[in-house]
Amino acid sequence: MRAGQQARRWRSALIKLARTQPLGTLGLIICIVVIFLGVFAPWVSRYDPFVTAPFDRLHGPSISHWMGTDEYGRDMYSRIVYGARVSLYVSFFSIAIGTFVGYLVGIFSGYVGGKADELLQRVVDAMLAFPSLLLALTIVSVLGAGLDKVIAAIAVTLAPRATRVARGVVLSVKENVYVDAARVVGASPIRIMVRHVLPNAMAPFLVLASVALGAAILTEASLSFLGLGVPPPHPSWGRMLSGAAQNLALLAPWLMVFPGAAIMVLVLGFNLFGDTLRDIWDPKMRGR
Amino acid sequence: MVPTLVILTLLVFGVMRVLPGDVATRMLSDDAGAVSMKGYSAEALREKLGLNRPLYLQYLTWLWDTARGNFGESLFTGQPVRDEVLQRLPITFQIALMAQILSLIIGIPIGIISAVKQNSWLDLVLRFWSIFFLAAPSFWLGLLVILVAALQFNWLPPVGYHPFWENPMANITQLIWPAVILAHGGLATTARMTRSTMLEVLREDYIRTARAKGLREQVVIVRHALKNALIPVVTLSGLSFASLMGGTVILEQIFAIPGMGLLFINAINFRDYTIVQGVVLVFAVIFMLVNLIVDLTYGWLDPRISYG
């Protein structure tokens, strides 16, 4: 009896969500679909994306190859689905690391205050003055190529904003009466942080993360397009675009259309969902 | 501004030095890079580059050299870094500037119309369009456009750079393509921003007064609403200039335009660290200058703000 009621409540909540925030629901659906495809890539794809087939090169979209084949005869649809895996992996990890490090620095900066805080904020300002692609390129130039290096580079581009958000949370919490009371009673700083700062930091974190996911994917695609991102053999949408643009766009337009469309769809999904989250949880950020 | 500048120099210097592994061995290890350093052994190279000295000494000598305009020599060609960078700076700057102008000229009117005729079909089309095009990678859109043009009209973008004063037509016809593609993102953002600020302004009391006075709607919009609505838009677009310059990096690669972006990418691929350092530094200084100009302009445009 209770299970049925629960299920109905979920359903009506979802329907309400769909009606009031149609774009956000669309974004959520897109995200879920792409994540599903990425996670279950080996089962969803029809061919092995790494196996070359010299006799099937450069076929256009057809019944057997939904998105055609590339210059090595690999099935594009499978490559795109596996590429979703790579994009999601890179973006999730870079966001996780970037926001984690950024939050640590931000919380420290906000809590300690004073000169250290000012200094750290200047550093953050300096980093934010740079467009993220240039920052990422600089980091990659220093660290070299490689999957983990790309993740680190993108994480670095996201960390400054996370620092700002975390610091904001800490500053607003510091004024809180509860915190003063806790300090008077003798609670350790760690306890204060866990009980007061973290719960308030959750919502901004989710908003920041969902907005940053789109940016992370675009940065990864740009890096790969320039040849400085995810290395072969991992399929990367950005690198597929680069190969197509250089060699074969006129002969085989599908090589260029599909990876780019994939990027657009995924970023769109994250952006729409992130915008909706932001509207729900952080109305003062609207219009930014 | 000065402290931020100092921190920037520290960051640029630090990033290039504080890296895993030894710079000298890395430079000699590949046969792709550091051609002009080939004759040296690792120890001799370290000596030459001054890597054996304490870090703060390295930083100070680098800072002093840079302040006097000596950015070192390219590890690949041996040419002074400053010449290479300054030669290409105007090109990249021009592309970014053209893109900025385009996005303002087209974006602001679109935003105004969208706000004035709120929820009309035009408004909805614009909102959907901006959402879509902000999500798409700009270089992909550009490539699609070129693809369609090539397939349908048998046309390709021109190659071969001509400086502006030599041949303005050729210069503009070549640079207009990356500029237009680059302007896309900025256009969408500018239009949205203009729309939202216009909507806010149009709700203000003084607009109601203006209408109550019997002024024509056009006058109300242009003379009273527009000025106030534009302030945040101008500041935002000034700040986005940095990301425009960043965006030229990819587009220069696609269109083979010899700008700073292409220099940067090649330097990264060839491990030409002195050039990488020089390019990053120049970018950093430009962004700081742009931010400063935007701050000052904001203060000038909005008389309520004053800098003590």
Count of CB pairs separated by less than 8 Å, A with B: 125
The verdict on a CB contact (< 8 Å) between A222 and B137 is: yes
Choose among A91, A102, A90, A94: nearest CA to A204.
A102
Q: What is the mean pLDDT of residues B58-64?
A: 77
Between B15, B135, B264, which is nearest A267 by CB?
B135
Q: Rounded distance, CA B63 to CA B56, Å?
A: 10
Contacts of A271 in chain B (CB under 8 A): 131, 134-135
Would you list the domain boundaries of chain A?
A: 67-260
| CA atoms within 13 Å, Cβ hemisphere of B262 | 15
Cα radius of gyration (chain A): 22
Which pLDDT score, from 0 to 100, does residue B36 have? Answer: 54
Q: What is the mean pLDDT of residues B199-210?
A: 78
Q: What is the mean pLDDT of residues B240-266?
A: 84
The verdict on A280 touching B (C-beta cutoff 8 Å) is no
Q: Which CATH superfamily is domain A67-260 in?
A: MetI-like (1.10.3720.10)
The verdict on B235 touching A (C-beta cutoff 8 Å) is no
Distance of CA B218 to the CA centre of its chain: 35
Confidence of residue B306 (pLDDT cuts 50, 70, 90): low
- Tell me which DSSP letter residue A231 carries: P
Q: Which of A99-108, A227-236, B188-197, B200-209 has the lowest mean pLDDT?
A: B200-209
The verdict on B128 touching A (C-beta cutoff 8 Å) is no
Q: Which of A3-17, A92-106, B192-206, B248-262 has the lowest mean pLDDT?
A: A3-17
Closest Cα in chain B, distance from residue A30 (Å): 13
| CA atoms within 13 Å, Cβ hemisphere of B253 | 24
Contacts of A260 in chain B (CB under 8 A): 136-137, 140-141, 143-144
The verdict on A272 touching B (C-beta cutoff 8 Å) is yes
Which pLDDT score, from 0 to 100, does residue A287 have? Answer: 39
Q: What is the mean pLDDT of residues B298-306?
A: 66
Examine the pLDDT at B124 and tell me if it is beyond 80: no
Closest Cα in chain B, distance from residue A267 (Å): 5
For B102, residues 6+ apart whose C-beta sits below 8 A from its C-beta are B179, B180, B183, B187
pTM over 0.90: no
Examine the pLDDT at B8 and tell me if it is beyond 50: yes
Residues listed for chain A: 288
Closest-CA residue of A relative to B193 is: A287
The verdict on A91 touching B (C-beta cutoff 8 Å) is no
Q: Rounded distance, CA B180 to CA B54, Å?
A: 48
The verdict on A225 touching B (C-beta cutoff 8 Å) is yes
**Contacts by B225-229, CB closer than 8 A, 24 or more apart:** B225/B198, B225/B201, B226/B112, B226/B198, B228/B197, B228/B201, B228/B204, B229/B112, B229/B194, B229/B197, B229/B198, B229/B200, B229/B201
Which pLDDT score, from 0 to 100, does residue B49 have? Answer: 65
For chain B, positions 88-127, list CB contacts with chain A under 8 A.
none
For A16, residues 6+ apart whose C-beta sits below 8 A from its C-beta are none
Examine the pLDDT at B209 and tell me if it is beyond 70: yes
Torsion of CA B23, B25, B31, B33, to 10 degrees: 20
Between B242, B250, B283, which is nearest A225 by CB?
B250
Contacts of B283 in chain A (CB under 8 A): 130, 134
Q: Exposure of A27 by Cβ count < 10 A (0-12 exposed, 13-18 middle, 19+ buried)?
A: buried
Closest-CA residue of B relative to A220 is: B137
∠ at Cα B158 (B156, B159), nearest 5°? 120
Which pLDDT score, from 0 to 100, does residue A20 have? Answer: 74
Choose among B5, B3, B2, B1: nearest CA to B285.
B5
Specify the higher pLDDT residue, B308 or B260.
B260
The verdict on A198 touching B (C-beta cutoff 8 Å) is no
Pick the most confident of A192-196, B21-25, B170-174.
B170-174
For chain A, list residues with pLDDT below 70: 1-3, 192-193, 247-250, 281-288
Considering chain B, what percentage of its residues have pLDDT values greater than 70? 78
The verdict on B76 touching A (C-beta cutoff 8 Å) is no
The verdict on B266 touching A (C-beta cutoff 8 Å) is no
Whether the CB-CB separation of B12 and B281 falls below 8 Å is answered with: yes
The verdict on A145 touching B (C-beta cutoff 8 Å) is no
Choose among B209, B264, B290, B302: nearest CA to B91.
B264
Q: Which residue has the tokens 């940067």?
A: B264
Q: What is the pLDDT of residues A126-151, one digit of tens each?
A: 888 788 888 888 888 877 778 888 99
Closest-CA residue of A relative to B191 is: A287
Which pLDDT score, from 0 to 100, does residue B277 have? Answer: 80
Closest Cα in chain B, distance from residue A111 (Å): 22
Distances (CA, A) of B216 to A143, B114, B201, B212, B220: 61, 19, 17, 10, 6
Between B134, B151, B242, which is nearest A130 by CB?
B242
Q: Which two tokens stand for residue A62?
A: 């057809």
Closest-CA residue of B relative to A213 is: B135
Closest Cα in chain B, distance from residue A141 (Å): 5
Closest Cα in chain B, distance from residue A153 (Å): 12
The verdict on A148 touching B (C-beta cutoff 8 Å) is no
The verdict on B144 touching A (C-beta cutoff 8 Å) is yes
Q: Rounded distance, CA A109 to CA A120, Å?
A: 7
Q: Rounded distance, CA B6 to CA A239, Å?
A: 37
Examine the pLDDT at B160 and tell me if it is beyond 70: no
Contacts of B100 in chain A (CB under 8 A): none
The verdict on a CB contact (< 8 Å) between B137 and A131 is: no
Instruction: Check the CA dihedral B234-B236-B239-B244 and report its sign.
Output: negative
